[in-house]
Structure 1
């Protein structure tokens, strides 16, 4: 089946099912990917499909509603950031069940310029993958939003500090990711991020200590410090 920008959601899903690879699902599970609805298609293949079908927001909404792992990833790749609403973002977040989906959709949410609303809201949400999405958005913003004021990025360090004690694996790793990416953004952001990392490394709770020590290790590495030299 040949897909094109005019292909409807049901045709895209039928094509995905024709590519199903049961043997790949076990490998995905080993990486902590939720495979209950997975077809076993690689992200590289999904990116190729996304390039063929291009962006179509209504189709992306229908792909997401299918619940299929690969269809939801395609939805995140092909939704229109400019027309994504906060309500849809909240709805999708309520469906999050895998770090892989979270991290893919974080790119879309940041591209839609919804970070200012969603990051503080999702950071205090007790659902594991919704909270992860807040810190994934911080990490994505720190890397890709070059024109964003550093003060905006640095303000999110308060959320890193507040939630560093969350011991759930997918939250803890995202908090660490956010802290490291803020610290690597530029020399201005490096100092406060490193200061926070050292403070977390000295805390008693295991999660904060791990986050801090790991961030200190990277932020003081020669690769990082050399790149940030004036």
Structure 2
């Protein structure tokens, strides 16, 4: 904790706070620290319990993702309230855990929008990597009905799922693009030059174009 405190930079904190993250540690330096520590699951658990965002980010990098039980995952996803801690926990821990599918099914319809966002992030990954037995038309039904009015973090993950369905499945592409055009979610999201807009119709069209050129 003392070493993390020594990495705190007021300028980095100011930037991070604009995105809802309450820490000032450069992520490159945090990753370097994790590389030096290597896997230390007990330390990761202790760091998580501090409640400090930088400590929790470090914990996701040095833990053993498969060591967490189902109940632990559920408790931790509800504790990971800042966007970066939530994102890293889902991507670096839950997605590598044997209970990921069980968690996905439970979380997607959770009344807590942050937990539901984690469920939709796991669903978007399944659309890409393991789409067998997913009800894609049913997912599109839910997205069409609920994404427009969803809280920001949940809306973002539902939109990612919408885009991945359109990118990966030609038979659902027209409907996915149509849903995006009707809902207009993230249409005006600021996008840096050279980056693809998260607006689903643009995102889908651009990624499909790139694949066709290969």
Query: Partner of 2:43 in structure 1?
Result: 59
SS in 1 for 2:81: coil
Task: Give, in angstroms, the shift of residue 72 of structure 1.
Answer: 0.4
Query: Partner of 1:3 in structure 2?
Result: none
The structure 1 residue matched to 2:63, chosen from 79, 101, 111, is 79
**C-alpha distance after superposition, 1:142-189 (max 9, x if no partner):** 45x4xx3444484883554454244311211121122223433x4xx3
Moved more, 116-125 or 62-71: 116-125
Report if aligned partners of 1:172, 1:211 keep a CA contact under 8 Å in 2: no
Structure 2: gaps spanning 5 or more residues: 188-197
Residues 46 and 194 of structure 1: is their aligned pair in 2 closer, same or farther, counting only changes over 3 Å?
Answer: farther
Number of residue-to-residue matches in the alignment: 202
Structure 1: gaps spanning 5 or more residues: 1-12, 203-207
| Structure 1 residues 141-220: aligned runs within 5 Å | 141-142=126-127, 145=129, 148-152=130-134, 154=136, 157=139, 160-161=143-144, 163-184=146-167, 186=168, 189-192=169-172, 194-199=174-179, 201-202=181-182, 208-210=183-185, 214-220=199-205
Task: Give, in angstroms, the shift of residue 192 of structure 1.
Answer: 2.1
Q: Distance in 2 between matches of 1:102 and 1:153?
A: 26
Query: Partner of 2:113 in structure 1?
Result: 128
Length-normalised TM-score, structure 2: 0.80
Q: Distance in 2 between matches of 1:114 and 1:225?
A: 35
The root-mean-square deviation of aligned C-alpha atoms, in Å, is 2.7
Task: Give, in angstroms, the shift of residue 196 of structure 1.
Answer: 3.3
Report if aligned partners of 2:109, 2:116 keep a CA contact under 8 Å in 1: yes
Moved more, 92-101 or 65-74: 92-101
SS in 1 for 2:185: helix
Report if aligned partners of 1:98, 1:129 keep a CA contact under 8 Å in 2: no
Moved more, 118-127 or 70-79: 118-127
Query: Partner of 1:92 in structure 2?
Result: 76
Q: Distance in 2 between matches of 1:74 and 1:211?
A: 31
Length-normalised TM-score, structure 1: 0.75
Q: Distance in 2 between matches of 1:64 and 1:25?
A: 20
Report if aligned partners of 1:194, 1:215 keep a CA contact under 8 Å in 2: no
SS in 1 for 2:118: helix
Q: Distance in 2 between matches of 1:116 and 1:106?
A: 12
